[in-house]
């Protein structure tokens, strides 16, 4: 056991009992790397790199999610469907962080609850796919599995999985996280700067509404300043990162043993979730994540049974620790009001207290006649409303939202105050995966969620 008391070092394979049990199980959604020696070389490099997040931060997030489970805070997760290396630029990262900070302010102010801010950022580089291959005009190539695996361009060179991308992905995540930490800890996220976060975005109804709110916050802050309040606490914002823990060749080498406790932590992100396609109870992902100390999310689609939920709780939260397990429901706007309440009722009668989060994106995708993958803003809103209704009906706490968004002025989702229509989609469609809400649609949604949350708090007070 002496290994566990040493400072954090590389876990030798198998040091923690059972950690590699997943290797004996079915592993879904992994790439077919052409060159095993090159993959091992990439894994070996990742094993030597410093951890991206620290065990103490992960514990802090778990504790804060424990507050969410108990209805004392709200979780806001947002970011790209798939981050790309080309878009890991300062401007784009900053715009996304600003958008999330603005949404968090709208929610905090509207609902008088602490909001935990989390980016789908700094590691959201790998994607599950419905098929291993993609065929265009009679040519079949490997499907795009995210920038950490292969390129999006439809050529054999680009689509062949390249293990060097695992190492590149780590560096992209490190620089993204570095910028996030600089923005949120270095004064930019100071609450006295709320007006500044609106700068650089086009003027539109959601931004004007935000400006008004920022004015109110400014006045309140100046009043408190005049009263001699201490603003140290307002200078920094805690900002966590999370992604789908999909790719074992990335997650396993970045798993480290905490020297304080001897427990394994995924150090690629604070929060790791299991996708709808990889949550099979007897397969690799559930087993592996059950052994990490991170707070774990699981996506739940419309066909989820109470039995699935019961067994996921037993596997992932055997100690019934509030904050350990988050269920992210993505049922579809037309289904959530029927599919969610039975699950909530079932869990409310057990001793488990998971966090419930709404992902109003993944159950509402559609393809236009012109071939664009899109979502209607109204469907997203409708699913969020359905989520709040289901919780009101059962008496459970609607703990958060999980949104695919960008700070950029893209045209990927239909509707919103700008009334983006099918013809407009083509003008600024940048996503290589699912369509994201743009900055304005994101703010608009935040105002709406704030109203729902505030109504919910009042009704249950
Ligand atoms: C995603 O979050 O991008 C995703 C693939 O979601 P899901 O697993 O819910 O389909
Ligand atoms: Co997506």
Which residues form the domain of 435? 15-189+236-460
| pLDDT value for 7 | 44
The 8-class DSSP code of residue 328 comes to E
Q: Which mutation among 434, 435, 436 tests ligand 1's pocket best, with the greatest number of atoms within 8 A of CB?
A: 434
CATH number at residue 315: 3.20.20.70
Strand segments (E) across 349-427: 355-358, 366-367, 373-374, 400-404
Task: Find the helix packing angle between 90-111 and 439-460, rounded to 10°.
Answer: 20
Please report where in the chains the tokens 């056991």 appear, as a residue: 1
413 within some domain: yes
Distance 221 CA to ligand 2 centre (A): 38
Residue nearest atom 1 of ligand 1, based on CA coordinates: 81
Ligand 1 atom with minimal separation from the 278 CA: 8
Which ligand does the CA of 405 lie closest to?
2
**What atom in ligand 1 is closest to the CA of residue 277?**
8
254 within 8 A of 243, measured Cβ to Cβ: no
- Residues 103/446, Cβ–Cβ less than 8 Å: yes
Three-class SS state of 18: coil
Q: 3-class SS at 79?
A: strand
3-state helix, strand, coil in the chain (%, to 5): 45, 15, 45
Say what the pLDDT of residue 205 is: 85
* pLDDT reported for residue 4: 38
The position carrying tokens 């990335």 is: 250
The residue behind tokens 């009722």 is: 345
What lines the ligand 1 site, CB under 6 Å?
81, 128, 244, 275-277, 299, 330, 362
Any domain includes 49 = yes
Show pLDDT as tens, one digit a residue, over the chain (461 residues). 333 344 445 555 446 899 999 999 999 999 999 999 999 999 999 999 999 999 999 999 999 999 999 999 999 999 999 999 999 999 999 999 999 999 999 999 888 899 999 999 999 999 999 999 999 999 999 999 999 999 999 999 999 999 999 999 999 999 999 999 999 998 888 887 888 888 777 778 888 888 888 888 888 888 887 888 777 777 888 999 999 999 999 999 999 999 888 999 999 999 999 999 999 999 999 999 999 999 999 999 999 999 999 999 999 999 999 999 999 999 999 999 999 999 999 999 999 999 999 999 999 999 999 999 999 999 999 999 999 999 999 999 999 999 999 999 999 999 999 899 999 999 999 999 999 999 999 999 999 999 999 999 888 87
Counting the structural domains of the chain, the total is 1
In a domain, 322, yes or no: yes
**Ligand 1 centroid to 300 CA: how many Å?**
10
Q: Is residue 8 part of a domain?
A: no
- Measure the CA–CA gap between 47 and 9, rounded to whole angstroms: 9
Inter-axis angle of helices 439-460 and 205-226, to 10 degrees? 60
Report the alpha-carbon distance of residue 295 to residue 274 in Å, rounded.
11
Please report whether residue 169 resides in a domain: yes
Nearest ligand 1 atom to the CA of 433 is: 3
Confidence at residue 177, expressed as pLDDT on a 0 to 100 scale: 98
Determine the atom of ligand 1 nearest the C-alpha atom of 276.
8
Give the ligand with the smallest distance to the CA of 246: 1
Ligand 1 nearest atom to the CA of residue 244, by list position? 2
In a domain, 223, yes or no: no
pLDDT at 316: 98
Cα-to-centroid distance, 49 and ligand 2 (Å): 28
Tokens at residue 309, please?
């939920």
Ligand 1 center to residue 144 CA distance, Å? 15
Chain CA centroid to CA 378, Å: 21
Q: Within a 10 A sphere around the Cβ of 26, how many other Cβ atoms? A: 10
SS3 94: helix
Whole-number Å distance between alpha carbons of 126 and 124: 6
Q: CA dist 105 to 46, 75, 87, 101, 185, Å?
A: 36, 12, 26, 6, 16
Mutate to test the pocket of ligand 1, among 244, 312, 336 (most ligand atoms within 8 A of CB): 244
Ligand 1 atom with the shortest distance to the CA of 434: 3
CB-based contact 266:14 (threshold 8 Å): no
Strand partners, 239: 117
d(CA 20, CA 25) in angstroms, rounded, equals 10
Ligand nearest to the CA of 126: 1
Ligand 1 centroid–CA 222 distance in Å is: 43
Which stretches of 242-295 are DSSP H helices? 248-251, 284-290
- Report CA(46)–ligand 2 centroid distance (Å): 26
């Amino acid at each position: 056991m002496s290994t566990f008391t040493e400072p954090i070092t590389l876990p030798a394979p198998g040091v923690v009992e059972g950690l590699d049990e997943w290797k004996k199980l079915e592993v879904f959604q992994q790439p077919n790397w052409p060159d095993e020696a090159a993959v091992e070389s990439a894994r070996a490099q990742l094993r030597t790199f410093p951890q991206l997040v620290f065990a103490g931060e992960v514990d802090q997030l778990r504790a804060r999610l424990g507050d969410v489970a108990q209805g004392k805070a709200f979780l806001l997760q947002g970011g790209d469907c798939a981050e790309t290396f080309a878009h890991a630029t300062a401007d784009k990262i900053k715009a996304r962080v600003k958008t999330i900070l603005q949404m968090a302010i709208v929610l905090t102010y509207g609902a008088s609850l602490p909001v935990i801010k989390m980016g789908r950022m700094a590691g959201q580089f790998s994607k599950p796919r419905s098929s291993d291959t993609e065929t265009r005009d009679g040519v079949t190539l490997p499907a795009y599995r995210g920038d950490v695996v292969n390129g999006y361009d439809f050529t054999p060179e680009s689509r062949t999985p390249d293990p060097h991308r695992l190492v590149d992905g780590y560096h992209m995540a490190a620089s993204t996280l570095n910028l996030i930490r600089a923005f949120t800890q270095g004064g930019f996220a100071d609450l006295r700067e709320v007006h500044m976060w609106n700068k650089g975005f086009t003027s539109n109804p959601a931004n004007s509404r935000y400006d008004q709110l920022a004015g109110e916050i400014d006045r309140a802050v100046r009043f408190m300043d005049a009263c001699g309040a201490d603003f140290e606490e307002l200078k920094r914002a805690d900002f966590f990162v999370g992604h789908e823990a999909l790719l074992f060749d990335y997650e396993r080498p970045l798993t480290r043993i905490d020297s304080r406790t001897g427990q394994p932590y995924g150090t690629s992100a604070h929060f790791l979730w299991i996708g709808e396609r990889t949550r099979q109870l007897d397969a690799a992902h559930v087993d592996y994540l059950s052994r990490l100390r991170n707070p774990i999310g699981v996506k739940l689609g419309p066909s989820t049974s109470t039995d699935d939920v019961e067994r996921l709780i037993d596997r992932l939260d055997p100690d019934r620790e509030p904050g350990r397990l988050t269920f992210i429901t993505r049922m579809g706007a037309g289904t959530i009001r029927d599919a969610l309440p039975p699950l909530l009722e079932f869990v409310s009668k057990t001793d488990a207290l998971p966090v419930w989060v709404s992902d109003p994106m993944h159950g509402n995708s559609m393809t236009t006649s012109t071939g664009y993958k899109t979502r209607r803003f109204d469907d997203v809103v409708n699913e969020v409303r359905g989520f709040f209704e289901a919780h009101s009906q059962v008496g459970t706490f609607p703990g958060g939202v999980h949104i695919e968004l960008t700070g950029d002025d893209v045209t990927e989702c239909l509707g919103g105050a700008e009334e983006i229509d099918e013809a407009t989609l083509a003008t600024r469609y940048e996503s290589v995966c699912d369509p994201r809400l743009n900055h304005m649609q994101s703010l608009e949604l935040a105002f709406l969620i704030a109203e729902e949350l505030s109504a919910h708090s009042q009704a249950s007070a």
